[in-house]
């Protein structure tokens, strides 16, 4: 049996409601007096974090992947029933694809982490710098800083390699593609760092210059790094 479910465009950037066809089976509740004392597995859910652009870059599409997975399952377990759901989120909502899918599909663990993150935001310190890796944002004295994408990537690269001096050539090769029109030279990377420091204001010294080599980030009392809840960023060492 194959059903299709759609997710309505959510009113917020973090949640989406599931709308299924009438014949779709309602999900089982994990709590209730009618459930037997002993439970046994009845199936599994596989969350796939992949948007259409990344799929296209890999030479596939989301429908093609779903079909391939179904055919594989049919070969391995012909009696298995399948149900495919696509998670939709507003453009620019941010976050890791997998986290967006899990939250949109109301996975309990994702909901719990989102709630914890919201409570954490409510207790943000009023002073200092918060580098939020999972949400791709920087808070300065409690206010969101207007970092460009490249400025955040530059700061993140240094933060994730805390205590290590990064050469200018490494920053250029890691953060700019060879075909980019605005790829800086090893010396013009200094201009990007100056712009980054300007937006950090009185905290500009958290990005240190190592003369003749490059830049580094060291642990600083005024800086809080948030890697998000659950699995760390894949770029974190």
> Helix (H, G, I), strand (E, B), or coil: what is residue 217?
strand
One DSSP character per residue, 179-190 reads T-TT---TTTHH
pLDDT of residue 76: 94
Low-confidence ranges of the chain (pLDDT < 70): 1-37, 91-94, 114, 116-126, 178-184, 228-237
pLDDT of residue 116: 66
**Tokens describing residue 198:** 């300007």
pTM: 0.47
pLDDT 10s digits, 155-173:
999 988 888 999 988 888 8
pLDDT of residue 236: 40
**CA nearest to 134, candidates 201, 65, 20, 225:** 225
Q: How far apart are CA 200 and CA 174, in angstroms?
A: 22
pLDDT of residue 121: 58
Angle between helices 149-159 and 168-175 (to 10 degrees): 130
pLDDT of residue 34: 59
pLDDT of residue 122: 53
pLDDT of residue 135: 83
pLDDT of residue 10: 38
């Amino acid at each position: 049996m194959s059903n299709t479910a759609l997710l309505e465009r959510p009113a917020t950037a973090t949640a989406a409601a599931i709308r299924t066809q009438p014949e779709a089976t309602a999900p089982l509740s994990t709590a209730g007096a009618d459930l037997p004392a002993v439970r046994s597995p009845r199936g599994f859910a596989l969350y796939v974090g992949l948007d259409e652009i990344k799929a296209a870059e890999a030479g596939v599409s989301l429908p093609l992947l779903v079909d391939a997975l179904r055919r594989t399952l049919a070969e391995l377990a012909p009696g298995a029933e399948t149900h495919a759901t696509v998670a939709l989120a507003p453009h620019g909502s941010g976050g890791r694809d997998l986290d967006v899918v899990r939250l949109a599909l109301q996975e309990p663990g994702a909901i719990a982490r989102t709630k914890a993150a919201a409570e954490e935001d409510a207790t943000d310190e009023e002073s200092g710098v918060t580098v939020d890796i999972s949400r791709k944002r920087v808070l300065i004295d409690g206010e969101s800083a207007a970092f460009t994408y490249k400025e955040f990537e530059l700061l993140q690269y240094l933060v994730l390699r805390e205590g290590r001096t990064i050469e200018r050539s490494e920053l250029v090769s890691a953060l700019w593609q060879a075909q980019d029109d605005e790829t800086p030279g090893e010396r013009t990377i200094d201009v990007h760092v100056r712009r980054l420091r300007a937006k950090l204001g009185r905290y500009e010294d958290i990005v240190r210059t190592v003369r003749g080599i490059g830049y580094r980030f060291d642990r600083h009392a005024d800086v809080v790094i948030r890697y998000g809840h659950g699995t760390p960023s894949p770029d974190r060492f």
